[in-house]
Amino acid sequence: MPGGLETVRNTKEHFKYAVTKSIPVFFGYIFLGIAFGILMSKAGYGPFWTLAASLFIYAGSMQFVLVSFLAAGAPLGLVALTTLFINGRHMFYGLSFVERFRKMGRYYPYMVFSLTDETYSVLCSIPDEKTEAEPRIMFWISALDQAYWAAGSLIGALAGGLLPFDFKGIEFSMTALFLVIFLDQWKNSKKHGAAAAGLAVSVFFLILLGPDRFLLPSLLILAAVMCLGFIREEQKGECKE
């Protein structure tokens, strides 16, 4: 019995910690979810389909694009190709968590499915002293983030037509969310090389290619830079041994 009580106590602590870490995502996802729910409602899709999209698709910006595709009756191939281009970045930064997700056993498929930009940023900010409890904390953060998005979507679908608000410009909340998470990571990290490289490469390609085309090239270059950095660190470790 004492062991069981200890497990329950630890679970509560992990959940509370995950809630605290995911609060910035809550404020971004709940309002964007509402906006998505409103769009789905205006497109003629009820709360059931809106909630189903947020539970089983859960693709962030792609869900907004999906609304127009559904309204236009776009072919499945076009939807799949567009999804690859919009969310293809997940393949790059998701690689850094593959091994940790695999160690989570039955939760592995869900962790891969639920990895979004914002969730990834929060998972990266988990401090080293939480390593032992990291799998449980990561699961709760991922589940909470999706719950925020799904709840916002449902609210928007149910009450979107009744809300007397102008949601124009609400997408900027995601930019603000990223800025908050970035600054938090910068403050808590002792090494800023990766962040500085990411910022420099992104700005370079943003100026060179424009806001609609800079993301994938930036990620490709950053992935190469990170791989080279990892190899160099491994070589340094071998030399010291």
What per-residue confidence (pLDDT) applies to 10?
A: 75
What is the mean pLDDT of the segment spanning 139-145? Answer: 94
Q: Which pTM does this prediction carry?
A: 0.69
Highest mean pLDDT among 39-48, 65-74, 176-185, 224-233: 39-48
* 188-218 tens-digit pLDDT: 667 777 778 778 888 888 898 887 777 678 7
Highest mean pLDDT among 51-65, 73-87, 168-182: 51-65
Compute the mean pLDDT over every residue in the chain, rounded to the nearest whole number.
78
Q: What are the backbone dihedrals phi and psi of residue 161, each rounded to the nearest 5 degrees, phi first?
A: -70, -15
What is the mean pLDDT of the segment spanning 18-39? Answer: 88
pLDDT exceeds 80 at position 147: yes
Q: Is 168 exposed, middle or buried (0-12, 13-18, 19+ CB in 10 A)?
A: exposed
What per-residue confidence (pLDDT) applies to 1?
A: 38
pLDDT exceeds 60 at position 4: no
* 88-140 tens-digit pLDDT: 667 777 777 888 888 888 999 999 899 888 888 888 888 766 666 678 889 99
